[in-house]
Structure 1
Amino acid sequence: MPRFSFAKPLAATLCLVVACAASAETVLNAKTSWIGNTFGFGDGTWTQINITAIAVAPDGKVYTNAPWDESGAEASTYQNGKMLVFAGGTHGWGTGGGNAIALNHHYVYMAVSVGNEKGHLVGQGIWPQKGKQWFGISRRKIEDPKLSALFQPPANTANAANTANAGSGGNTAVDPHAQLAAGFLMMNEVPTGTRADIDGLAASDTTLYAANSTQNRIEVYDAESMQRKATWTVHEPGHIALAGDGTLWVITGSLTDPAPRIAHYSASGQLLADTLPLPADAVPVDVAVDAHGKVLVADNGPRQQVLFFSKNEGRYAESGTLGERGGIFSGVAGRPGPQRFNGLTGVGVDARGNVYVATNGIGPRYAPLGAGLGATLESYAPDGRQLWQVQGLLFVDGAWVDPARPDSVYTGNKRFDLDLTKPPGQDWKYVGFLSNRFRYPDDPVFHTDQWPGLPIARQLKGHTFLYLTDMYADHLKIYRFDAAHDGETAIPSGFIAGRERPVAGVPDAPPGGDWIWRDTRGDGKFTSDEFTPNTTGTKLAGGWGWWVDSAGDIWRTSDTKGIHRLHFGGLDAKGNPLYSYEDMATYPMPQPFTELRRAIYVPETDSLYVTGYTAEAPVDRGFWKEVGRVLVRYDNWSSGKPVQRYAITLPWQPQAKPVQTIIGLTVEGQYVFAVEPVGAVHVLDKDSGKEVGVIRPGAEVGKASGWVDVPNGVSAYRRSNGEYLVFVEEDARGKVMMYRWKPA
């Protein structure tokens, strides 16, 4: 362990503790833009972050559903490349979306779930009892899906209560939750945490068919009264398509079978003899039927295509496809474009024969990841021309400029090109999907996190590497690139584990966590002899700070055990960066801190920026992701006798509405950029610690930013013309904020 003595501050450049926030805020003249979503919310719209089911009306309106969208757009309506409306009532107050949706001329039928917020929501007939959860169907009016289409009297709400949200104004005779409940058909009541989703729906004007997947049956209801008329047994039924002749095409084995199939049933549930000759490696995830009886199948297997089947001489045969074979992984792997599908989840067709395809980057069988790998909805003419596309590509994600390409930006598992001559929202283009589940199935993005992670990109020894921290700063993923052989794909290269539980799903990993993995074979696979457990006695697990400096050293900030530094040891024979517990330095907690949260090192000035808590500014355990209340810059850090240049207090008003604290910070050029949970960015002069001003979201994004919910939610890049690009995680509406600010 290095010996350190902390010299007194330099009098000419130091104020001991100064207030960061000025009494009169200076709002900086920054331009607002964003990346990753077709719509920026300037007009109140955005593309949802996941789509697992679609239903297409004859006029080309597309109705969607998914278990989760951060701002409640689980069930939305799109047409001609525009988001028209979201249904609501599928988010918050115990409700969630689902994996199925269907239409007739009168109603929209949506699979939903209803919970009780750990027993805090109480109302007979409105929410289940504590410890229980409901799965079923919400019926809405086709002319306005926000309106519940009641088929039973609303529950008496006089005694309903919400103990979780005191001061909500009480209940009235027109309680909207009671109205939703009066249009909700409960099909399964199960213990909380049990999966019992409705995974398929199809409807005519008289009949509704529902796939009760975990119960292995199709249930048939009167479309108007919602009274059950019949049931029949089907193995794990999934999505359903209702043909013009009244027969049903049903995906079977949708939950557990490696290769689901599609069965054909009569309206009364008799299994018909004809089948679809699916390829052996097909993974059907959705099925639709056009006006001429052609069957469309969304294949989420290696083909990543829509398969067409037509009946000829009494048998169905494949009659065409939509999409490049291999999808986004064909040709230049990871390069998006028309007909290069990626994780198909839905297919539909309108009266004109236009085909609609939904994807989420993984497919419907990986529900948690579907909210982080990128949703798209696109339309194709019968001749295969792309008519329109909407994208909701980012969630719990940040951005970092590629050090080798200043007009290229990495996020957790995507790459975007920038053209800053274009207007806000049009200045980005999606050009790379980094995760290849077919070539690198061991990629820890599929085994450790619900979301890819927050990026830091560094150029080392002439090569670009991507480092990803997870949402809770537990572990660090490392990726390399080989464009000639892998296109846009980020190849798993290294992994530094934290606690045992978050990394339990990593293939062949040793028990206990606290290990380093390196891809010594160069194949992106995790094998047992590539792991090195930490035997030094100094654990890296625990803490909120990860930082990779421009020289490649990795900094790990422990809450109470100091700061660890893993030195970059060059590249191995396969091009992986070398890190070793044996080449690790540990620095004691520097004065005046009592707890640490972040440490950012700048090699060019040998300066370390440290945040945390002191005796005078103690920790509040209710704010466990924040950087702390004090920022200190130390110079001459590597000398063994660092000099404290300044110590400043950061904005911290936990009683403010919204709460004012700092959840992330970064250092770039002449400035420190510190972001609040609600997205406001404080800009500080890095040499004095004095605040220059604040960047706030503009009208282009509705002057709104969602919650910054990660420890590394802000990054910055100084362009050659002196302008700064500042990127901020924006959880609410599927994007990352991009601010452009040029100091006067």
Structure 2
Amino acid sequence: MLKLFCALGALACIHASEAAPRVLDARTSWIGNTFGYGQGTWAQINITAIAVTPDGRVFTNAPWDESGAEASVYKNGQMLGFAGGTHGWGNYGGNAIAVNKRYAFIAIAVGNEKGRLVKPGVWPGSGRQWFGVSRRELGETKRAAPFRSTDAADAKDPHAVLASSFLTINEAPTDKREDIGGLAASDALLYVSNTTQDRIEVYDADSMQKKRQWDAHEPGRLALASDGSLWALLDSLGENPRLVHYSASGAPLDDAPALPKDTLAADIATDGQGRLLVADNGVRQQVLIFTRDGRGYRESGTLGERGGIFSGTAGKPGPQRFNGLTGVGVDAAGNVYVSTNGIGVRHDTIGAGLGATLESYAPDGRRLWQVQGLLFVDGAWIDPSRPNSVYTGNKRFELDLSKPPGEEWKYAGFLTGRFRYPDDPVFHTDQWPGMPIARKLDGRTFLYLTDMYADHLKIYRFDAKRDGELAIPSGFIAGRARPVEHVPNRPPAGDWIWRDTNGNGRFDAGEFQLNTGTARIAGGWGWWVDTKGDIWRTSDVKGIRRLRYGGVDQAGNPVYDVAKITSYAMPAPFTELRRAIYDADTDSLYVSGYTADEPPDRGFWKEVGRRFVRYDHWSTNPTQRYAIDLPWDTKAKPVSTLIGFTVEGRYVFAVEPVGTVHVYDKDSGQELGVIKPGPEVGGASGWVDVPNGISASRRPDGEYLVFVEEDARGKVMMYRWKP
């Protein structure tokens, strides 16, 4: 069956066949994750706690991993597996984990999916949630280690089996967090930091019956010493956690060292030499080492460069250049293990977007191995100043395309300077950095980031001599009021522009320009920055806005003025718009959306729409060249729509939410075929969940690199296609 679309003034009519399109010969690769899922493994996107066995297995935990690997196991740089039961069906991960010779004890949360899950003892009642500990077999963490009996029916229910191995510590309303702040285990006992209840609780590790408890203010991470004494971080919810040492019975000891000023202790561990290791997520970004000295402890060394990734060339990753420490542990051989997530434990879910690493160091400080899960809800864009450099939302990678799939990338730069630029809107708006568009304007490179819901636009500049790899907050275009309510010094509404006029990267009062005109910026799903620097904002029903690039100011920022917005009415045949991409070289505008004959399905609201049109001579005499009927079937399983498109070279590249890339000839609108994920990534791509999740770049030899957001397993897909 064929559909024919023509319009008055059109230069071509497109016959869109419903037959399956041809699969193009493209090579599949990826950037940002140690593992591509070709062998069924991936590095998780966040790590907030670790526990290490004597033989060097590292057990991790985090509140969230998109594909359920919150609690995973690694050894010698390989992912051995993950526990499961920490994702979906009301289950979530947590911020603590401990092991003994038999069990892994995993802090988790259990909900009821807004009352949809109902079974006493398996899920909490409506409006309630549980925080506690899931006990698993150490050798196979997918296997529950029950301590309560189940009847015959429950024995066949995997959720009931998991419930029989779950110890409820706190029950709370759904709007209140009462997480477990720390765990430690011997073969006989399990120690639990009940942080919000100001006590440390002790359980029998086999029966899981409570044996005793004692008061402790906001206890956090715990570490058992070889003599049976217990180290704890107290005041863990504040900015200055402190060390406390307890006897085996819980009596306070007076030998705990005072931590250096500005230390933000994130985790603690002990080693076979009786030393105490403290992961400092403050400005030092180091592991502090304390040794017994008489009746007390003294600081005897550190692991890691002082200042971490922000020292020297700021943002440059490398061995011992830690970034957001969350965990530390030691094995029997004295090897030290460090986890990071770019921000630390206590910063909501943003850690899932700033990149997880797990590293092992020999006693002499040599890095033995590292795994990286660096990207989440993130895209990629070729650096216009360096053809083998790629920007993502808050990182830079370097490419060597001579290497095998998955090995072409090298992590080269972390862009978010949280100590130098604490006003960076990534900390005050959405929970993830955003989709990148990089442009070179007047000899300078600027990075523009759209958020997951296309509400606002972040703008960054660079100064390599002063700030290394860091991206300096330079401009911001706000949409609605609520997503920007935490931006420092903001006006009391949305729809404004901020520009860093004094060049300090801070949102200072007096640097905001409120949009008081009729051409509103707020609302819509389309953002685009063309090669000349103009910003195009697509409203659903109010047409298209264009903020013209006004050059660079004295501080090095691109200039935009809400008083000089150009407005374009909604072009025929559309009744609703979703995207608009302008090609400045040809004065062509590519627009997608819905028409009266092809209306939207209101249950799907990020998609590009059902009709795609190219208009030529847009600035002088807009003329429709062609109209394409796009893939669109919201009843299909999986759903068949398009969620993003980009224009590069001779082609239009458009991506479905399930990751399939459609390739169209830019001049004729004819579909040439599709690109699908190959065996290098297990033939799988996660859900593309952002409205600007695809980009493409034509290389000098005619090869195209196509980058696609890959939600599921901590990476960005990179397809290599040579027509």
Q: Give the TM-score of the pair, scaled to structure 1.
A: 0.96
Q: Is 1:30 aligned to 2:26, yes or no?
A: yes
1:227-275 CA distance string (max 9 Å, x none)? 01111111111110000111111011111x2111111111222111011
1:441 alignment partner in structure 2: 422
1:14 alignment partner in structure 2: 12
Aligned partners of 1:722 and 1:128: how far apart in 2? 58
Counterpart of 1:721, as a letter, is D
1:305 alignment partner in structure 2: 286
Q: Which of 716, 721, 725 is equivalent to 2:701? A: 721
2:578 alignment partner in structure 1: 597
1:134 alignment partner in structure 2: 130
2:347 alignment partner in structure 1: 366
* Structure 1 residue 537 displacement after superposition: 2.5
Aligned partners of 2:250 and 2:520: how far apart in 1? 60
Aligned partners of 2:286 and 2:88: how far apart in 1? 35
Q: Is 1:212 aligned to 2:194, yes or no?
A: yes
Q: Which of 650, 656, 659 is equivalent to 1:679? A: 659
Q: Give the TM-score of the pair, scaled to structure 2.
A: 0.98
* Structure 1 residue 533 displacement after superposition: 0.6
Aligned partners of 1:129 and 1:525: how far apart in 2? 46
* Structure 1 residue 312 displacement after superposition: 1.3
Aligned partners of 1:669 and 1:213: how far apart in 2? 56
Distance 1:538 1:496, change over 3 A: same
Task: Within 5 Å, give how 1:51-450 maps onto structure 2.
Answer: 51-154=47-150, 173-255=155-237, 257-450=238-431
Q: Is 1:41 aligned to 2:23, yes or no?
A: no
Aligned partners of 1:733 and 1:155: how far apart in 2? 37
Q: Which of 684, 696, 708 is equivalent to 2:676? A: 696
Counterpart of 2:472, as a letter, is I
Aligned partners of 1:35 and 1:9: how far apart in 2? 45
Q: Is 1:665 aligned to 2:661, yes or no?
A: no
Identity of aligned residues (%): 70
* Structure 1 residue 22 displacement after superposition: 4.9
Q: Which of 547, 561, 564 is equivalent to 2:545? A: 564
Aligned partners of 1:135 and 1:154: how far apart in 2? 21
1:532 alignment partner in structure 2: 513
**Unaligned stretches of 5+ in structure 1?**
1-6, 158-171
Aligned partners of 1:339 and 1:563: how far apart in 2? 48
**SS state of the match for residue 612, structure 1?**
strand
1:393-416 CA distance string (max 9 Å, x none)? 000000000001010000000000
Task: Within 5 Å, give how 1:504-543 maps onto structure 2.
Answer: 504-543=485-524
Q: Which of 622, 630, 639 is equivalent to 1:642? A: 622
Task: Decide whether the 8 Å contact of 2:108 with 2:134 is kept in 1.
Answer: yes
1:24-71 CA distance string (max 9 Å, x none)? 320000000000000000000000000000000000000000000000
1:543-593 CA distance string (max 9 Å, x none)? 000000000000000000000000000000011000001111010000000
Counterpart of 2:552, as a letter, is L
Aligned partners of 1:144 and 1:152: how far apart in 2? 19
Report the aligned-residue RMSD: 1.1
Counterpart of 1:125, as a letter, is G
**SS state of the match for residue 638, structure 1?**
coil
1:141-177 CA distance string (max 9 Å, x none)? 01110000000023686xxxxxxxxxxxxxx641000
* Structure 1 residue 538 displacement after superposition: 2.2
Aligned residues between the structures: 718
Aligned partners of 1:341 and 1:155: how far apart in 2? 49
Task: Decide whether the 8 Å contact of 1:155 with 1:182 is kept in 2.
Answer: no
Aligned partners of 1:155 and 1:560: how far apart in 2? 58
1:304-358 CA distance string (max 9 Å, x none)? 0001000112220011100000000000000000000000000000000000000
Q: Is 1:545 aligned to 2:541, yes or no?
A: no
1:459 alignment partner in structure 2: 440
* Structure 1 residue 288 displacement after superposition: 0.2
**SS state of the match for residue 348, structure 1?**
strand
* Structure 1 residue 18 displacement after superposition: 3.7
Task: Decide whether the 8 Å contact of 1:612 with 1:630 is kept in 2.
Answer: yes
* Structure 1 residue 692 displacement after superposition: 0.5
**SS state of the match for residue 121, structure 1?**
coil
Farther off after superposition, 146-155 or 131-140? 146-155
**SS state of the match for residue 436, structure 1?**
coil
Q: Which runs of 4+ in 1 moved over 4 A?
A: 7-11
Counterpart of 1:199, as a letter, is G
**SS state of the match for residue 593, structure 2?**
strand
* Structure 1 residue 226 displacement after superposition: 0.3
* Structure 1 residue 616 displacement after superposition: 1.0
**SS state of the match for residue 228, structure 2?**
coil
Aligned partners of 1:24 and 1:725: how far apart in 2? 24
Farther off after superposition, 274-283 or 354-363? 274-283
Task: Decide whether the 8 Å contact of 1:155 with 1:181 is kept in 2.
Answer: no
Counterpart of 1:698, as a letter, is G
Counterpart of 1:196, as a letter, is E
Counterpart of 1:195, as a letter, is R
* Structure 1 residue 292 displacement after superposition: 1.5
Aligned partners of 1:480 and 1:215: how far apart in 2? 45
Aligned partners of 1:700 and 1:24: how far apart in 2? 23
Q: Is 1:491 aligned to 2:491, yes or no?
A: no
**Unaligned stretches of 5+ in structure 2?**
1-5
Counterpart of 1:14, as a letter, is A
Aligned partners of 1:465 and 1:22: how far apart in 2? 41
Aligned partners of 1:602 and 1:423: how far apart in 2? 34
1:165 alignment partner in structure 2: none
1:501 alignment partner in structure 2: 482
Distance 1:740 1:9, change over 3 A: farther
